[in-house]
Amino acid sequence: MAYTSLSAMRNSICLPNMALSDKSNKHNEFCFSFGNHKSTPFFKSPRSDHFTLTNVATPSPSVAPPPSDRPETTATHGGPHHPAWTSILQDRWEGELLVQGQIPLWLKGTYLRNGPGLWHIGDYNFRHLFDGYATIVKLHFENGRLVAAHRQLESQAYQAAKKHQKLCYREFSEAPTPSNFLAYMGELAGLFSGASLTDNASTGVVKLGDGRVVCLTETQKGSIVIDPDTLETLGRFEYSDTLGGLIHSAHPIVTDSEFLTLLPDLIRPGYLVVRMVPGSNERKVIGRVNCRGGPAPGWVHSFPVTEHYVVVPEMPLRYCAQNLLRAEPTPLYKFEWHPESKAFIHVMCRSSGRIVRSVEVPLFITFHFINAYEEEDEDGRVRAIIADCCEHNADVSILDGLRLNSLRSFNGQDTLPDARVGRFRIPLDVDASEYGELEAALDPDEHGRGMDMCSFNPNYLGKKYRYAYACGAQRPCNFPNTLTKLDFVEKKAKNWHEEGAVPSEPLFVARPGATEEDDGVVISIISEKNGEGYALLLDGSSFEEIARAKFPYALPYGLHGCWVPKR
């Protein structure tokens, strides 16, 4: 059931459109804060009678956003590209926003979101969503007020590209063009050593138990520490152990007491399960999983845990050394699809590192696991592991569907591949079947047969849970375009949708002291097709809008975020 009254509400409060290059437009006024500029940021509308003003900043001279002359903004299908897929307008901005609605007074802290926000260097356009240079976005909530900011992550890859106006490191689908044969051989040598791999930490951002905030991607060198208040890049997170390797899971499991991640072994196909404690940069091995099929380990973008176990997925979408060496992308980029190698789920004891179960499961494709828990019988004995993920029906076309050209060329035809909430059941009984189950946790039509970018109440990590929040689909579309609340007990979904809007991952923040699982707020950043954008807050229980605040211009689509409580 769609939450449809929002479009009508928005029509009653929308601001007149303003071309980003029109500095004389009197309907909107903006003031920006660049770097250490001390002027008070300000966003003002003449229609203020339609707003509940929870934060009023002191007016200061109006400065319009810079005009966009970037090559990827050229018209397609009669209009400009959707701002979700258009490079950020400037490398940094900060300002306090006016809020329509009410921000809960208990919401005190900072939402950080990471993602690719710059998809061009000079006149060269990147080709894939995952190639863009990282843009960090901040939403700071305190006393019902909202201060927003964004800033480019100063990775080595970004700094080199900015300096030389060309690609200097290997990104997801891009490789530098060598000037001669010797340069080509040097670049290959750098690939084997990891020197030519990107450190563009554009995938996620996590708060470690010791308070450090780290941006991450799948290359280990792409672990970069930032200041959550200023968004300043502080330096690379250097692992002090000798485990080596070039890649790791883009999504570790992070709590106040530990950091868990997987290190794929491309030489002897398998995975190291490692742990790091707060205050340390040293990862220690819990155990190793040997792959049961294929020429290489399966791609492991994320993985789940329960209270006592680490769940290690082995997909038939496997790393491919030959594709890593190529200068031009293949249809599956750095991977190959090996359905003949089958798919497996391994279950490791978190304390001993012992493999307690390794079963074959139906073929699957997933970027993101949601959560997992231990299924108990009436006597309290653990009989199985339940693990949920955003599963793409074993359809590898989802990777190529994230090419920027495809995302920018939506013409009303439905091209988004189907997806579901895949629920694995892995039996733990000694005499149980050697096969695990995989089925839909609820009817995929509940969320439009689109599903990705998920979160849940972090207090239920590794425990039996009822609710999750994700991006679904209202078709026709070429990308997930709704925010969805999933109820695994009622097997129903509530969906938020606005025509032409592209929402980022919904992040759930629990209300302090809450006793109900869905007592909290859901935060998302919305890019609108008219060139505008806003921060959105939904009630975690009713899934109805409680507040929104417009940015001075739309931000590009982002990937993953985290919550940093006020210290």
Write the DSSP symbol of residue 120: E
Residue 120 near residue 152 (C-beta atoms within 8 A): no
Whether omega before 503 lies within 30 degrees of 0, making that bond cis, reads no
| Per-residue model confidence (pLDDT) at position 512 | 96
Distance CA 352, CA 217 (A): 28
Distance CA 70, CA 93 (A): 18
- SS3 assignment, position 166: coil
- Percent of the chain with pLDDT strictly greater than 70: 83
Say how many Å lie between the first and final Cα of the chain, rounded. 39
pLDDT above 60 for 56: no
Contacts of 184 (CB under 8 A, 6+ apart): 178
Q: Other C-beta atoms within 10 Å of 220: how many?
A: 22
| Per-residue model confidence (pLDDT) at position 185 | 64
Answer yes or no: is 560 a known binding residue.
Answer: yes
Distance CA 12, CA 174 (A): 44
Contacts of 567 (CB under 8 A, 6+ apart): 211
Look at the chain and count its residues: 567
Answer yes or no: is 27 a known binding residue.
Answer: no
Write the DSSP symbol of residue 91: S
pLDDT above 50 for 192: yes
Distance CA 40, CA 45 (A): 16
C-alpha Rg value of the chain to the nearest Å: 23
pLDDT in tens, 19-46: 333 333 333 333 333 333 333 332 333 3
pLDDT in tens, 205-233: 999 999 999 999 999 999 999 999 999 99
| Per-residue model confidence (pLDDT) at position 479 | 96
Distance CA 306, CA 129 (A): 31
Which of 176-190, 337-351, 379-393, 545-559 has the least mean pLDDT? 176-190
Cα–Cα nearest to 338, from 309, 355, 354, 314: 314
Phi, psi angle pair for 3, to nearest 5°: -90, 95
pLDDT in tens, 85-97: 999 999 999 999 9
| Per-residue model confidence (pLDDT) at position 189 | 63
Answer yes or no: is 164 a known binding residue.
Answer: no
280-295: buried (b, 16+ CB within 10 Å) or exposed (e) per residue? Answer: beebeebbbbebbbbe
Distance CA 315, CA 453 (A): 19
Encoded tokens for 409:
């060329």
Distance CA 175, CA 197 (A): 9
| Per-residue model confidence (pLDDT) at position 243 | 95
pLDDT above 70 for 115: yes
Residue 248 near residue 218 (C-beta atoms within 8 A): yes
Encoded tokens for 24:
């004389």
| Per-residue model confidence (pLDDT) at position 230 | 98
pLDDT in tens, 339-348: 999 999 999 9
pLDDT above 60 for 141: yes
| Average of per-residue pLDDT across 454-482 | 98
pLDDT above 80 for 159: yes
If one compares 545 and 45, the residue with the highest pLDDT of the two is 545
Encoded tokens for 510:
């629990």
| Per-residue model confidence (pLDDT) at position 177 | 77
Encoded tokens for 439:
């089925």
Answer yes or no: is 251 a known binding residue.
Answer: yes
Q: Amino acid identity of 258?
A: E
In DSSP terms, 111 is beta-bridged to 139, 563
| Per-residue model confidence (pLDDT) at position 321 | 78
Instruction: Give the DSSP H or E segment for 526.
Output: strand 520-527
pLDDT above 50 for 68: no
Strands 452-455, 42-44: pairing is: unpaired
Write the DSSP symbol of residue 399: H
Print the SS3 string covering 177-231: CCCCHHHHHHHHHHHHHCCCECCCCCCEEEECCCCCEEEECCECCCEEEECCCCC
Which of 66-70, 205-209, 329-333 has the least mean pLDDT? 66-70
Write down the mean pLDDT value for the chain.
Answer: 86
- Percent of the chain with pLDDT strictly greater than 90: 74
pLDDT above 80 for 416: yes
pLDDT in tens, 258-298: 999 999 999 999 999 999 999 999 999 999 999 999 899 99
